[in-house]
Amino acid sequence: MKTTRAIRMLAILPAAGVVLVAGCSNDPSPAPSDQASSVTITDAWVRAAQDGMVPAFAQLANTTDQAVRLSSVESAASGSTEIHEVVTPDGAPVMREKDGGLVIEPGTTYRLEPGADHLMLMGLLDPIDPGEDIPITLRFADGTSQEVVFTGRDFAGGTEEYQPGMEHDTGSGNEH
């Protein structure tokens, strides 16, 4: 019995030594940071509306030295959500879903704003009133997410058309 215990101890000691040596490493490598916690969101608001689809805007600041990719968004306030871009292929602004999401370069602020890239809530389930808080979840390429509260705001802008061939069942035409 003592022999078996001694053999077990001899087998465990080398493994314990490896763990101790690894714990004493001087490697200054920083712990990996998830993309969601690397982004600071400010000035988050969504256009107030009774139905249909509405744009949402914010400023997304990447506080790291690595690029961050926002890959999708979702909200319980609408039937579906997308990341949109506005392009002007024939001189008139046209919006469409932004393929691959959007990249926030290291140390920069990405502005989601009227007439440019924005989030789109389509098929509102309930009206959004001015001052109302609407949670929207931002999902990043590394699988992390961040819930952000967007505040309803009166806004008369946002008259871009959809790119021809894009189908969006919004209940209120093709403007936002």
pLDDT tens track for 78-131: 999 999 999 988 888 889 999 999 999 999 999 999 999 999 999 999 999 999
- pLDDT value at 145 more than 90: yes
- pLDDT value at 68 more than 80: yes
Please give the torsion angle defined by the CA atoms of residues 102, 63, 143 and 124, in that order, rounded to the nearest 10 degrees: -60
Domains delineated in the chain:
36-162 (2.60.40.1890)
* Cβ contact 66:37 at 8 Å: no
What pLDDT sits at residue 112?
98
Determine the Cα–Cα distance for residues 145 and 43; give it in Å rounded to an integer: 18
Q: Which residue has the tokens 């969601």?
A: 36
* Cβ contact 144:37 at 8 Å: yes
Q: What is the mean pLDDT of residues 132-150?
A: 98
What pLDDT sits at residue 156?
82
Residues 6+ away with beta carbon under 8 Å from 128 = 46, 47, 48, 49, 54, 77, 134, 152
Q: What is the mean pLDDT of residues 141-150?
A: 97
What pLDDT sits at residue 1?
53
- pLDDT averaged over the chain? 81
- pLDDT value at 13 more than 90: no
- pLDDT value at 55 more than 70: yes
Report yes or no on whether pTM surpasses 0.75.
Answer: no
Q: What percent of the chain has pLDDT over 70?
A: 70
